[in-house]
Amino acid sequence: MKYLDEYRDSEAAAGYARALARITTRPWTLMEVCGGQTHSIVKFGVDELLPEAVTLVHGPGCPVCVTPLELIEKALEIASRPGVIFCSFGDMLRVPGHAKDLLTVKAEGGDVRIVYSPLDAVAIARQHPDRQVVFFAVGFETTAPANAMAVFQADAQGIDNFSLLVSHVLVPPAMEAILSSSLNRVQGFLAAGHVCTVMGYTEYEPIASKYNVPIVVTGFEPLDLLQGVYLCVKQLEEGRAVVENQYARAVRREGNRPAQDLVRQVFRVVPRKWRGVGEIPRSGLGLQERFGRFDAEARFGVAARAVEEPAECISGLVLQGLKKPHECPAFATRCTPERPLGATMVSSEGACAAYYRYRRMKPVELTHGVPA
């Protein structure tokens, strides 16, 4: 397909690998922010083309993975109610709650439906005025314009039996949380291409200068990722720390203004809890007061609840780039995509699932005698 296949050219990839090897003089640790990038890196073996000195760690950019357990529990409770049609992207259905997942609710007779777009959920609400239709609105900035449009259209068309269970998160605050941690080892970022398609990249400029960290807006194909790594390492080697745009075919500095305008009309910035990480101030989106009647949490009165995350799951460390999936003693043994302990093993973009699918390694700790 045009604009995909050409960016998988192995000769050009080899060219970038050689160029990168030429300029790399010492060890550097970079983080790719987005789960889509992680998936592509592991699937195409991009990391295996890099000089040994360059390490890629995988970031928090998988919205399915960072949705806190409390919200999964709220989804399960709402989806179990009679009269509800619960709509979601497919990824969320297998994320384990405390006792079950959305697929189990469906098997028990709940009306849980996978949709391709939030507008499909609005259409279902229009077709079933006697039912309550709830859409599980998870996502980063990339998905916010679609969810904003769903609410905006439901409001304009008087579709009152539609609501959103909102779990929207924002990338820049998570990057700052990682950079300000005393454990941080990330020296440069590949910023998430499609998040920047919507938001542009001006909000990353103060982060690059405050933390003296290069940030390269990067696409998702192997050549995009290799060029992103090259540009980032080049900045590090030259002692620079600015925002660069590798993905200019899809990203403009100011982003997509019409999309940002509608997102701002429908959503406001709120604190959000990230699974495995904890609450990060101003790191999520919630509905504006004007659209508050579309908030499923209020509509269904689902009380806040504290749910313990499985103690054995290290997804919080994986999401912050502090551990690699195969460094977890449960990886591929007590935690698999069929029986996941945490969300990073569920979503196809979760780092653990990507490692499991493409790179089944023996957990390194096992050789050091970590008890099973």
Partner 1 sequence: MCLAVPGRIISIEDGDPLLRSGRVDFGGVVKRVNLAYVPEARIDDYVLVHVGFAISTVDEVEARQVFRYLQQMGELAELEASEGAP
Report d(CA 180, CA 71) in Å as an integer: 26
Which residues pair with residue 218 across a beta bridge?
192
Contact 300, 324 (CB under 8 A): no
Size of the site for partner 1 (CB under 8 A): 60
Place of tokens 């509800």: 84
Helix (H), strand (E) at residue 31? strand 28-34
Tell me whether residue 197 or residue 315 sits nearer to partner 1 (CB atom). Answer: 197
How is residue 68 annotated by DSSP? Answer: -
Report d(CA 102, CA 98) in Å as an integer: 11
Name the pairing type of β-strands 132-139 and 162-169.
parallel
Question: Interacting stretch for partner 1, rule CB under 8 A, among 52-60, 135-143, 303-311, 328-336?
Answer: 135-143
Quick check: 145 binds partner 1 (CB under 8 A)? yes
Question: Interacting stretch for partner 1, rule CB under 8 A, among 114-122, 206-214, 269-277, 305-313?
Answer: 114-122
Among 80, 153, 184, 288, binds partner 1 (CB under 8 A): 153
What does the block give as tokens for 337? 């995509």
Shortest Å, Cβ 370 to partner 1 = 32
Shortest Å, Cβ 172 to partner 1 = 15
**Burial code of 220-258, b = ≥16 C-beta within 10 A, e = fewer?**
bbbbbbbbbbbbbbbbbeeeebebbbbbeeebeeebbee
Tell me whether residue 36 or residue 363 sits nearer to partner 1 (CB atom). Answer: 36
Query: How far from 202 is each of 54, 60, 195, 245, CA to CA, in Å?
Result: 27, 20, 12, 11
Shortest Å, Cβ 176 to partner 1 = 19
Quick check: 244 binds partner 1 (CB under 8 A)? no
Shortest Å, Cβ 19 to partner 1 = 5
Among 138, 166, 314, 335, binds partner 1 (CB under 8 A): 138
Question: Interacting stretch for partner 1, rule CB under 8 A, among 258-266, 271-279, 309-317, 362-370?
Answer: 258-266
Quick check: 107 binds partner 1 (CB under 8 A)? no
Which residues pair with residue 135 across a beta bridge?
87, 164
Tell me whether residue 156 or residue 303 sits nearer to partner 1 (CB atom). Answer: 156
How is residue 335 annotated by DSSP? Answer: B
Tell me whether residue 15 or residue 129 sits nearer to partner 1 (CB atom). Answer: 15
Among 99, 156, 183, 304, binds partner 1 (CB under 8 A): 156
Tell me whether residue 61 or residue 325 sits nearer to partner 1 (CB atom). Answer: 61
Which residues pair with residue 331 across a beta bridge?
335
Contact 67, 167 (CB under 8 A): yes
Tell me whether residue 85 or residue 122 sits nearer to partner 1 (CB atom). Answer: 122
Instruction: List binders of partner 1 among 41-80 (CB under 8 A).
Output: 61-64
Residue 130 dihedral angles phi and psi, to the nearest 5°? -90, 0
Shortest Å, Cβ 61 to partner 1 = 7
Sort 27 into a burial class: Cβ within 10 Å, 0-12 / 13-18 / 19+: exposed
Chain residues that interact with partner 1, rule: CB under 8 A? 1-4, 6-7, 9, 11-12, 14-16, 18-19, 34-36, 61-64, 89, 91, 116-120, 138-140, 142-143, 145-146, 149, 152-153, 156, 192, 194-195, 197-198, 220, 223-224, 227, 246, 248-252, 256, 258-259, 262, 347, 349
